[in-house]
Chains A and B, each alone.
Chain A
Amino acid sequence: MARITLDPVTRIEGHLRIDVEVNGGRVSKAWSSAQMWRGIETILKGRPPEDAWIYAQRFCGVCTTVHAISSIRSVEHALNVEVPLNAQYIRNIIMAQHSVQDHIVHFYHLSALDWVDVVSALKADPAATARLAQSISDWPGNSETEFRAVKEKLTGFVNTGRLGIFSTGYWGHPAMQLPPEANLMAVTHYLSALDMQRKSAQAVAILGGKNPHIQNLCVGGVATAVNVDNLATLNMERIAALRTLMSETRDYVKKVYLPDMLAIASAYRDWFGIGAGVTNYLAVPEMVEDTRHQEFALPGAIINGGDLNGARILKDHQDPKLIGDISESVACAWYKGSASLHPWEGETEPLYTDFEDNGKYSWCKAPRLAGRPVQVGPTAQILAGYAAGQPQIKALVDSTCRTLKIRPEQLGSTMGRLVARALRASLMADLSLHYLDKLVENLARGDKSYANHTQIPKGEYRGVGFHEAPRGTLSHWVVIEDRKIKNYQAVVPSTWNSSPRDEQGTPGPYEASLVNNPVAVEEKPLEVLRTIHSFDPCIACAVHTIDPDGKEITRVKVL
C-alpha cells in the first residue's frame, strides 16, 4: 500500500492538501484537508450590515462578485426588502457573465492540461488540426494558419527551455490519450480563451462600475443609475457595448468551449464511470425574475442518492428544508466544540491538533444537509434543472447525452462535472443576453427605479443570502442587532465539496470521489488531480504571495 500526499493541489489561490492511500493501482481511502484557517468572517462582527458586502467580496481570491451578491441578499432577506426589477436584471447579468468568465478559465486554464498533453501538440500536423477543428465547429479562428502559428510559438518556447506555465504538467503520462492534433487544437484555444475572459470581465465592469471588485450594489437594489438617454448612466451606448461583448463570449462558448469539451470527453469516456463520490446534490434557485424573490428562471433541488425522480424541487430560497436543515460539523475540523451548529449559531474558534487520520485534519468545517454530505456545483445545478424539467436545461442535457452516449446521472463523475460546467457556461451565456433584453424592455415600459433605499432599523434580525455561484451553492448568514452585525458565517461551495468527515465518519464529496480512482504512476498521481480539479476547487481563498526562489511547494510524497 502506498500513501500519496499532494499539497497543494489547486492551480489558483488556495491551500488544499489531499492524501490518498493506494492499493493495487486504485485509491482505497482519501482525506481532503484545507491547510489555512479562514477566520475572516470575524472581521465583519460589529460593522454596519449595509457595508458587509464590500468586505465580503474579498473573502475569496477569485470569486468576488458572488460574495457581494450573497452578502447583500442576506441583509435584504433579514429586513424583507423588495428589489426593483431593473436591479434584479442587472444583478442577473453580472452573475451570468461572471459565470461565463469563471467557467472558461476553469476549463482552459485550470483543468484542461490534466487531459491535454502540450508536448504532444508539437507533433501535430496543422492542416490535419484545422480539418479536425472545422469538423466540429465553424469558428472562424480554426484555420491552418492559426494552428501553425501556435505550433511554431510553442516549439520556440520548448526549444529555449521555456515551457514556463506548462512545466507543471505530467506530459507523456500513460493516462494522456488525445492525438497530437486534438492537443494542438486545445492548446490554441487555451491561448485565445484569455481574450474571451477579458470580454466577460469588461461586461461585468460596465455594470459593476469596476472589476474585479464591483461597486454598484446597495441594500435594496443597485447603485447603477439607469437612464437610456443620459450619458452619465447606463445608457443605450453602454447597453450596445454590453450586447457586443456578451454576444462574442456566447459565440466562443458555443463554437469553441463546448465542442472542445465534447471532443475531450469522447476521448476519455471511461472517466464518466470514475469519481462520482457523493451523489446527494444541492442547488438553489437562481436568476430572480420578480421584486419579491419568489420567481426564478432556474429551479433548485435537493437530490438524494442520485435519484432524479425523487428530487425535492426548490422554487425559492425560503424552503424550510433549505434554511433549517443546514449544519456544520467540526468533529474532524480544527475547531473547538463537538456539536453540529446551524450557521446562525455558528462559532469559529480554532483548535489546531496535528493531521490526525482518525481525528481532526482540516481547517474546513463539514457542512451537512439533514445530516448528509452534499455535492454542489455545475453537476448539481444542471441535474436540479433537469429534474425540475427546466426547458433549456432539459434540451442541453438531452442533446449532450445523445452525443456522448451517457445517461444524465453520469454527469455525476469526474468527466461529467467538466461537461456539466460547459453546459452551464452555455446556459449563462444565453441568459446574459436574455436579461439584457428584459432590462431594455423594462426601461422602455418606463420603469426607472433601481433601488429601494433601506435604513437599517433597531432590533434583532436574521437573514440568509443564497446564491448559485459558479462553484455551487453559496450562503451568507447574518445576525443583525441594533444596526450592527452580531454574527456572520459564510458557507461557501468549496466547503461543501472539500468537507472532511463528520461525527459519523462519513467522508465529504472530494474524499468519496477519489475512492476507486486509478493511479497508474504513484509518483505522478495525475488521475487524482483530474478528479479534484473537476470540482474547480477554491479553498481557503486568497493567500497570495510571490515565491522569489521558485522552491517547489508541492510535495508529492509516496510513503
Chain B
Amino acid sequence: MTTLIYGAGNLLVSDEGFGVHLVEYLRRHWSFPEAVELLDGGTLGIMTGYRVEEVDHLILIDVLDAEGSPGEIRRYDLQDLLLDRLPVKLSPHQIGIQEMLSLSALRGRLPQSATLFGVIPASYEAGIELSPPLAAALGSVADLVVAELERLGHRLISHRRTNATC
C-alpha cells in the first residue's frame, strides 16, 4: 500500500507555494517509510498527473480559491475533487489536478482515496516566504497529513520537539 503526498504550488509566489513548503516541513520533522512518497509537484498539473495513478492513496496539499480567512484549513475527499461535484470550466488550471483525477477515473486508474488539505492564502506577491498566517498553518496542516498517514496504516518517526519553532 503506497501513498503519495503531493505538494502543489509555485515557490516564487509567496503563499501560492504553500504545498511545496509543507512537503519541505514534513521532510524536516518526520522520517517516512518507503511506501510514502513526498513530491514537490510545483504547478505542473497534467505534466505530473501520472504520479497519482501509481499509488493507492493520494494526499494533496494546495491553496484554495475560496472565501474565508487566511490560514483557514479545509478538507476535501476524492468525490469532492472529481469534476461532477466541481464543474470548473475553462479555468486557469483547466487541466490541473482535479481534471487529472477525472482523466484517471476515465482510464480506470484512480487511487483508492484522495484527500485534499487546502488553505486559504493571504498573499500572491512575488517572494519565496510564506505570509505569517500561512507560515503558522504549516504545523497544523502537517499534523493533519500525519494523522491521515497513520490512519492509512503508515508508521512515521517524528523528529519534532515540543518546543520546535520552525
Chain A residues close to B by CB (< 8 Å): 8-15, 38-40, 42-43, 55, 58-59, 61-62, 64, 101-102, 105, 109-110, 153-154, 157, 160-162, 164-165, 167-168, 191, 194-195, 197-198, 201, 211-213, 541-550, 552-554
Complex-state Cα separation, A58 to B107, whole angstroms = 30
Please state if A212 and B46 are interface contacts (CB–CB under 8 Å). no
Complex-state Cα separation, A181 to B10, whole angstroms = 41
Interface string of B100-126 (1 = CB under 8 A from A): 001101111000000010100100101
Please state if A165 and B106 are interface contacts (CB–CB under 8 Å). yes
Please state if A101 and B47 are interface contacts (CB–CB under 8 Å). yes
Please state if B13 and A12 are interface contacts (CB–CB under 8 Å). no
Partner of B89 from the list A43, A58, A61, A554 (CB cut-off 8 Å) is: A554
Known contacts A40-B13, A61-B43, A550-B85, A545 near B99 by CB under 8 Å: no
Contact partners of B102 in chain A: CB under 8 A = 162, 164-165
Of B60-68, B134-142, B158-166, the one contacting chain A is B60-68
Complex-state Cα separation, A162 to B45, whole angstroms = 20
Please state if B88 and A61 are interface contacts (CB–CB under 8 Å). no
Complex-state Cα separation, A519 to B31, whole angstroms = 57
Partner of A12 from the list B9, B86, B94, B106 (CB cut-off 8 Å) is: B94
Q: Does B58 contact A (CB under 8 A)?
A: no
Complex-state Cα separation, A191 to B89, whole angstroms = 20
Given contacts A164-B105, A167-B89, A194-B50, 10 further A-B contacts (CB under 8 A): A12-B46, A40-B13, A58-B10, A101-B47, A157-B106, A168-B90, A212-B48, A543-B10, A546-B63, A554-B89
| Nearest chain B CB to A380 CB, angstrom units | 23
Partner of B87 from the list A10, A160, A550, A554 (CB cut-off 8 Å) is: A550
Q: Does B96 contact A (CB under 8 A)?
A: yes
Partner of B8 from the list A39, A544, A552 (CB cut-off 8 Å) is: A544
Q: Which B residue's beta carbon lies closest to that of A211?
A: B48
Please state if A43 and B118 are interface contacts (CB–CB under 8 Å). no
Known contacts A164-B83, A542-B12, A548-B66, A197 near B95 by CB under 8 Å: no
Q: Does B92 contact A (CB under 8 A)?
A: yes
Please state if A544 and B83 are interface contacts (CB–CB under 8 Å). no
Please state if B128 and A43 are interface contacts (CB–CB under 8 Å). yes
Q: Does B74 contact A (CB under 8 A)?
A: yes
A-B contact pairs, 29 of them (CB 8 A): A12-B93, A14-B92, A58-B10, A58-B42, A61-B10, A102-B47, A154-B106, A160-B84, A161-B84, A164-B99, A165-B103, A168-B94, A197-B47, A197-B50, A212-B40, A212-B47, A213-B40, A542-B16, A543-B16, A543-B92, A544-B16, A544-B96, A545-B93, A546-B64, A546-B93, A549-B86, A552-B88, A552-B89, A553-B90
Complex-state Cα separation, A549 to B86, whole angstroms = 6
Contact partners of A12 in chain B: CB under 8 A = 45-46, 93-96
Partner of A213 from the list B12, B42, B93 (CB cut-off 8 Å) is: B42
Complex-state Cα separation, A162 to B118, whole angstroms = 24
Q: Does B11 contact A (CB under 8 A)?
A: yes
Q: Which A residue's beta carbon lies closest to that of B109?
A: A194
Complex-state Cα separation, A201 to B102, whole angstroms = 21
Please state if A544 and B43 are interface contacts (CB–CB under 8 Å). yes
Interface size on B, residues (CB 8 A): 57
| Nearest chain A CB to B13 CB, angstrom units | 6
Please state if A43 and B45 are interface contacts (CB–CB under 8 Å). no
Contact partners of B16 in chain A: CB under 8 A = 542-545
Q: Does B25 contact A (CB under 8 A)?
A: no
Please state if B9 and A544 are interface contacts (CB–CB under 8 Å). yes
Contact partners of B126 in chain A: CB under 8 A = 38-40, 42-43
Contact partners of B78 in chain A: CB under 8 A = none
| Nearest chain B CB to A408 CB, angstrom units | 31
| Nearest chain B CB to A301 CB, angstrom units | 30
Q: Does B3 contact A (CB under 8 A)?
A: no
Identify which of B12, B66, B82, B126 gathers the most chain A CB atoms within 10 Å of its CB: B12
Known contacts A64-B42, A164-B106, A13 near B93 by CB under 8 Å: yes
Please state if A545 and B106 are interface contacts (CB–CB under 8 Å). no
Contact partners of B106 in chain A: CB under 8 A = 153-154, 157, 164-165, 191
Q: Does B127 contact A (CB under 8 A)?
A: yes
| Nearest chain A CB to B7 CB, angstrom units | 11
| Nearest chain A CB to B69 CB, angstrom units | 15
Complex-state Cα separation, A315 to B91, whole angstroms = 41
Interface string of B29-72 (1 = CB under 8 A from A): 00000000000111111111110000000000011111000000
Partner of B50 from the list A102, A198, A546 (CB cut-off 8 Å) is: A198
Q: Which A residue's beta carbon lies closest to that of B60?
A: A546
Q: Does B24 contact A (CB under 8 A)?
A: no
Q: Which A residue's beta carbon lies closest to that of B8?
A: A544
Complex-state Cα separation, A18 to B99, whole angstroms = 23
Q: Which A residue's beta carbon lies closest to that of B49?
A: A194
Identify which of A64, A198, A550 gathers the most chain B CB atoms within 10 Å of its CB: A550
Contact partners of B13 in chain A: CB under 8 A = 40, 542-543
Partner of B43 from the list A161, A195, A541 (CB cut-off 8 Å) is: A541
Complex-state Cα separation, A30 to B49, whole angstroms = 34
Q: Does B150 contact A (CB under 8 A)?
A: no
Please state if B80 and A548 are interface contacts (CB–CB under 8 Å). yes
Complex-state Cα separation, A8 to B12, whole angstroms = 22
Please state if A191 and B83 are interface contacts (CB–CB under 8 Å). no
Contact partners of B44 in chain A: CB under 8 A = 61-62, 64, 212
| Nearest chain B CB to A465 CB, angstrom units | 18
Contact partners of A543 in chain B: CB under 8 A = 10, 13, 16, 92, 124
Please state if B107 and A40 are interface contacts (CB–CB under 8 Å). no
The 5 closest A-B pairs by CB, nearest first: A61-B43, A164-B102, A554-B90, A545-B65, A550-B86
Known contacts A545-B64, A554-B89, A43 near B127 by CB under 8 Å: yes
Complex-state Cα separation, A548 to B93, whole angstroms = 13
Identify which of B16, B40, B65, B116 gathers the most chain A CB atoms within 10 Å of its CB: B65
Please state if B47 and A105 are interface contacts (CB–CB under 8 Å). yes
Q: Which B residue's beta carbon lies closest to that of A63?
A: B47
Identify which of A542, A545, A553, A554 gathers the most chain B CB atoms within 10 Å of its CB: A545
Please state if B108 and A544 are interface contacts (CB–CB under 8 Å). no
Contact partners of B9 in chain A: CB under 8 A = 544
Contact partners of B76 in chain A: CB under 8 A = 548
Contact partners of B91 in chain A: CB under 8 A = 8, 547, 553-554
Identify which of A40, A157, A162, A543 gathers the most chain B CB atoms within 10 Å of its CB: A543
Complex-state Cα separation, A309 to B23, whole angstroms = 54
